[in-house]
Amino acid sequence: MTITLDIRPEVQAELARQAALEGRAIESVATALLEGAVHPVSAGPPANVTPLEHRTGQALIDAFADIRGLLTDEEIDRMFSRNPSTARPVDLS
């Protein structure tokens, strides 16, 4: 389906900015926004659409739900520790 819209120049500029950030065509971003507007937020965006307003982090939380609680805080600290020193060697010669 083709729809012709008259939009303000600042709206067009924002669509172009978002499209450039995502490496997509402006039409693709506009389509994603329209599709997102008609889908309930709880259902999320269609599989091929990832507009920024749908990125809540819930997918990541759900992905790690099965392993939550398998490690203690101490085990995690040992696995992901780093040198507390922020100093870096400098060669001034």
Question: Has residue 51 been placed in a domain?
Answer: yes
Q: Give me the pLDDT at residue 41, please.
A: 58
Q: Give me the pLDDT at residue 45, please.
A: 54
Q: How many domains does the chain have?
A: 1
Distance from chain centroid for Cα 75: 29
Q: Give me the pLDDT at residue 65, please.
A: 78
Question: Has residue 15 been placed in a domain?
Answer: yes
Q: Give me the pLDDT at residue 49, please.
A: 55
Q: Is the pTM of this model over 0.95?
A: no
Question: Has residue 22 been placed in a domain?
Answer: yes
| Parent domain of 20 | 9-79
Q: Which residue has the tokens 């997102």?
A: 36
Q: Give me the pLDDT at residue 43, please.
A: 52
What residue ranges of the chain have pLDDT lower than 70? 40-56, 83-84
For residues 53 and 36, the answer to whether their CB atoms sit within 8 Å is yes
